[in-house]
Structure 1
């Protein structure tokens, strides 16, 4: 859908409202917000369960930030999990701001789902919506958000349903994302065991008792110190070939 003729991201009438830790709720022109660290602000909306509701909001503990990040649906949670697994992501904020604009007839607003900071310092605004659930009004809001983000120097992505195998693997590994799973001596033995590529369970057994080594192994896979081929091709299993990241022998 085309952006309404009345929308011009370069004009001061495009504003962001957000929750500032010092000043509380603020509303400012877009041009004054381009350097904001919106990955650190509080959500502009609350995440609440309601009886009979269609959505499933909640809080996810992100290993990337060491903080809880909100989500409003299982799809948002799944995308949040994948962002947490992405080594290029260093910051994630949910519902970071309201974007306000005028469509020529009335004021409109939209709260993107996530603000993501990448390791190179760039920022990406993310909306999550399955392809089949994008209504015309949603497409319009996403297009306006895309234009506004370009004006601010931010990227924009509208993410849909992720690959099922990738999600299944990352869901499993996410159970071991907490740093408490890292046992130093076991990690050293696992790195040695997988200096040469080999089956997951055989390497775990070579490094010690399974009850100790498997949680550490999955944590190293979460950190991507260890990797396996075909993360989108097949589910992780006892015979999955695992090796050190960066090539054999590193």
Structure 2
């Protein structure tokens, strides 16, 4: 056992049917945690849960629309019931809609705010209610929110997304302060992932081309790499490892931070 061992911990990870969320769920399982996958993608979510549980780990799926208060209440209750507790929440679910400001659509901004900001805040709300003393789980815990390097740099065509991910950072810090001052026993942190070549990440590269900011996807991706001191894109495992650290006792005196996992891009 190490200080990063999560044996006995019970986690809910949102947006974990695929991509970074699935990698986070897998890393939590490898560290010893039981995991509930929450997602609106039911078929993919169940497939991921089945894959991760094949080795004997306790992994389940719950359908969760993070913008709905009632979905959160049900998901937290099911997590506690099926896993036997609840002490880790990873708010990973998010959407990105690329647009130059001159072309931005109000509905796109509302959708990003609803998922990225409202969804994160509701998750923290229900985690606090369950994890605090007297709550349904009642043993404290850790919340990790997924922000973005977009919250720290001025990158064109992602103003709306950048704004929502900046909000995730602010919510994280205030939630950490409230938890500490009110004795909830829950640490709250966030990470700033760099560009990862998931479906979402590569769509952003294609959208950058469509916006006239790069001649092709290779150039768009190359521009990001050029801005990254470590000289490569991120990998899903890079993000997952950082989340495991922040959930573990290795980070037991860390709360209210934003941890860059971006190869130095946002320095």
TM-score, scaled to structure 2:
0.24
Q: Which has the higher contact order (CA 8 A, sep 6+)?
A: 2
Larger radius of gyration: 1
TM-score, scaled to structure 1:
0.25
Give the structure with the higher percent helix: 2
